[in-house]
Amino acid sequence: MSDKRDNALREQILKLKKERNAVILSHNYQRGEVQDTADFVGDSLELSQKAAKTDAEVIVFCGVHFMAETAAILNPGKTVLLPDAGAGCPMANMITAEQLRQQKQKMPKATVVTYINSSAAVKAESDYCCTSANGVKIVGSIDNPEIIFVPDQYLGDFIAKRTGKTLTLWPGYCPTHMRILPEDIIKRKQEHPKAKVVVHPECRPDVIALADEALSTSGMIRYAARPDVQELVVGTEVEILHRLNKENPGKQFYAASKKAICPNMKKITLDKIAESLETMAPAITVPEEIRLRAKAAVDRMLAGV
Ligand code: 13P
Ligand code: SF4
């Protein structure tokens, strides 16, 4: 897309945003031009915190479905727009509410901790929600030897190792982070021997074992800003490099694997943002009975961080 067209669209979005009293929230994996048009760019935790506090009447969520749904859970009176209704998260679709109910029947005394990458119906069956930024803290605070963690087996394994707790894991995973392999990290380290390595906890355990730190996306942004970090290998979705480069001129960032692209995150474009503000669609809603139960799990997370 040309800069001229981008600028025209950005102006149109700005105008519509004012008319609608809207705020635009963007995840760190969104296209560069979408990040640059947003009011706030962040990780899942920061975005849900922003969504919980906003005074705007309309939230345009540039991310994937579960993120917009979380904003809708927290804001019953507001309109939450997801500019492409087909922007889903395959990991979130790897467990249904019925499957979680069956697992709970097998372990009736267990506490259920659910990664925010899940549907509202699954959150409604859960005691706590968590993100990659606070999973260790949330699980660490639970005084129950039986904990079910869904749906990401790799984040769950990471949290189990960090807390020393035994978690019953669900076999979900992120197809994008699965593309980052141990040999990619080894190769990048050989190419850039002075670089530090950060990876997302959705990565495979053998990838996490090779990194200096496993962090949420905004955790990586903060790590990159440290004065002792000049070169960084980044094991997560490649678009995070847009923000890393923008905020850290002079530092060098290398994608662990250029194959780590989340096609769903790329579905949101400036055209679709403008169109959704124009038509006020697609709007994401959650049935009230599910919303209230899901909100309890999300509120427990927000209160604990
Ligand atoms: P963060 O919460 O770290 O931004 O991660 C969200 C996500 O979907 C990772 O794949
Ligand atoms: Fe889902 Fe993975 Fe995309 Fe994150 S990167 S939204 S977990 S598919």
Bridge partner residues of 24 (DSSP): 60
Sign of the torsion angle spanned by Cα atoms 173, 179, 183, 185: negative
Ligand 2 lined by 237 (C-beta under 6 Å) = yes
Rg of the chain in Å (alpha carbons): 19
Ligand 2 lined by 88 (C-beta under 6 Å) = no
Kindly give the distance from the C-alpha atom of residue 110 to the centroid of ligand 1, in angstroms, as a whole number: 26
- Across residues 79-105, what is the average pLDDT? 98
**Residue 304: per-residue pLDDT:** 79
Q: Give the three-class secondary structure for 168.
A: strand
The residue whose CB lies within 8 Å of the most ligand 2 atoms, and thus the one to mutate among 66, 84, 93, 237, is 237
Specify the pTM. Answer: 0.97
The residues lining ligand 1, judged by C-beta closer than 6 Å to any ligand atom, are 28, 43-44, 117, 131-132, 174, 200, 202, 216-217
For 235-247, the pLDDT digits (tens) are 999 999 999 999 9
**What share of the chain has pLDDT > 90, as a percent?**
97
Nearest to 169 by CA among 240, 89, 115, 233: 115
What residues contact residue 145 under an 8 Å CB cut-off, 6+ apart? 166
**Residue 3: per-residue pLDDT:** 83
What residues contact residue 290 under an 8 Å CB cut-off, 6+ apart? 120, 121, 124
Beta strand pairing status for 196-199 and 79-81? Answer: unpaired
CA 241, CA 15: separation in Å to the nearest integer?
29
**Residue 2: per-residue pLDDT:** 72
For 190-236, the pLDDT digits (tens) are 999 999 999 999 999 999 999 999 999 999 999 999 999 999 999 99
Which ligand has an atom closest to residue 131 CA?
1
Helix (H) or strand (E) holding 234: strand 231-235
Residue that the structure tokens 């296209």 belong to: 31
**Residue 186: per-residue pLDDT:** 98
CA 202, CA 177: separation in Å to the nearest integer?
6
Ligand 1 atom closest to the CA of 237, numbered from 1:
10
What residues contact residue 232 under an 8 Å CB cut-off, 6+ apart? 195, 196, 197, 198, 223, 224, 244, 251, 252, 253, 254
Mean of per-residue pLDDT scores for the chain: 97
